Amino acid sequence: MRDTFTVAALISAGRHPVSGTPRACHVDAVAMALGRWIAGDALRVVHAGAAEEPSLQDYLALGAGTIEVLPIGAGNDPVPELATYLRDVDIIITGNNAERGRGSGLLPYALAEALKRPVVSNALDVRLAGSAEAGWNAEIRQFLPKGQRRRIACPLPLVISVHPRAQVELKYAYARRVSGRIEIVASQTTAAPVIAPEWTMETASRRPVRLKAQDGKSAHARMQSAIVSEAKGGVVAFEGTTVDKAQVMLNYLREHRLVDF
């Protein structure tokens, strides 16, 4: 049994949602900050992609002393490469989704499946408990909908995906951006290219606007309607021709000023 545990954070190329400017992906930066809180300077920061990616400079400024880059083409699957390279890492920590690319949010699960280890999603904080003799356990506080939280424990090794609301502090420093290093790692395996689907781009159809008559009642009358059940007024046009029934509908629309003709 090793005396210590190893932690690696995976980062991706981020883009600003409006301008498209390269930047650090926010949730990956949060995951990296949480990894630094766990492992300190021993944290390994890994990026699968191009070493020339401009957003990597932001990760250096946010505290990544050295970024290990696995050179993977844009059409290749990064999971086999990452699984081979990180097979001896005890904790692999990622963001819960990226800002660009296909299948965003699936990488933690696909990587955990390739490594045959558990995955914990939407982590807010992580604490390590145990020893080298008894083994290490990760105590994780997990984000749940409607403001709920829960704590779970899981033995190492495992994969953790971090929720963007994790309570970490991001500090940008230009000095770290200049002093940080980007190291290219030799390819670990031959990843098969991913066949890109042939998408058909179409203009979004306009949704019909639902017509609703304005309620001209006073506040007191609306409150009474909410607490007292009353019969709803209306006209059911069973008799007459289709023209007569259409005239009933048109009269209703004109009465409530839903049409102006």
Q: Could you tell me the pLDDT band of residue 145, with boundaries at 50, 70 and 90?
A: confident
Q: Give the pLDDT of residue 2.
A: 46
Question: For residues 68 and 60, what is the distance between their CA atoms, to the nearest angstrom?
Answer: 11
Q: Give the pLDDT of residue 252.
A: 83
Q: Give the pLDDT of residue 44.
A: 93
How does pLDDT run across 158-171, given as a tens digit for each residue? 999 999 999 898 99
Question: For residues 58 and 56, what is the distance between their CA atoms, to the nearest angstrom?
Answer: 5
Q: Give the pLDDT of residue 86.
A: 93
Considering the chain, what percentage of its residues have pLDDT values greater than 70?
86
* Higher-confidence position of 185 and 234: 185
How does pLDDT run across 104-140, given as a tens digit for each residue? 788 999 999 999 999 999 999 998 887 767 778 889 9
Residue 226 has pLDDT above 80, yes or no: no
| pTM over 0.85, yes/no | no
How does pLDDT run across 85-96, given as a tens digit for each residue? 999 999 999 998
Residue 231 has pLDDT above 70, yes or no: no
- How deeply is 124 buried, as exposed, middle or buried, from its count of CB atoms within 10 A (0-12, 13-18, 19+)? buried
Q: Give the pLDDT of residue 1.
A: 35
Give the CA diameter of the chain: 88
- Segment 138-152 shows an average pLDDT of 90
Question: For residues 124 and 34, what is the distance between their CA atoms, to the nearest angstrom?
Answer: 9
Alpha helix positions (H), the chain: 26-39, 56-61, 78-85, 107-115, 174-179, 219-227, 242-255
Domains of the chain: 7-184 (3.40.50.620), 219-255 (no CATH)
Judge whether 174 and 66 are in contact, CB under 8 Å. no
User: If you average pLDDT over each of 57-71, 133-147, 212-226, which comes out highest?
Assistant: 57-71
